[in-house]
Amino acid sequence: MLALHASLEKYMLPCMTKKVLGFDCPGCGLQRSIAFLLKGEFLEAFYMYPAIYTLIPLLILVVAEKLFKANISSTLILGLGITSVALILINYTIKLIN
C-alpha cells in the first residue's frame, strides 16, 4: 500500500485552473485526499476533501449498477449524488472565503 501511495504522490496531476487562473477548482484536493486514504490517514483525507466519503460509495454503487446490473435503489444513488455535490460546493465556498 505504501508503494502505491508513493507512486501516486509522484504522478499527481497539477490543477490547471489553479495554474492558469490562480485559484482552486472545486476538485482541488481530491488526489491528495485519496493519497491520505491509502496511507490510512482518514481524518486528514476528510479535511483535504470532505466529499471523498460520499464519492467512493457513489462510485461503487454506480459501477455495480452499470457493470453488474445490480438492482440498486435510484433514490440511494440520487441521495449520495446530491450529498456529494453539496459537500463539494460547501467546501469550495469555504476555500474561496478563506
Residues 32-79 pLDDT 10s: 999 999 999 999 999 999 999 999 999 999 999 888 888 888 999 999
pLDDT band at 3 (very low <50, low <70, confident <90, very high): low
Q: Which residue has the cell 444513488?
A: 77
pLDDT band at 23 (very low <50, low <70, confident <90, very high): confident
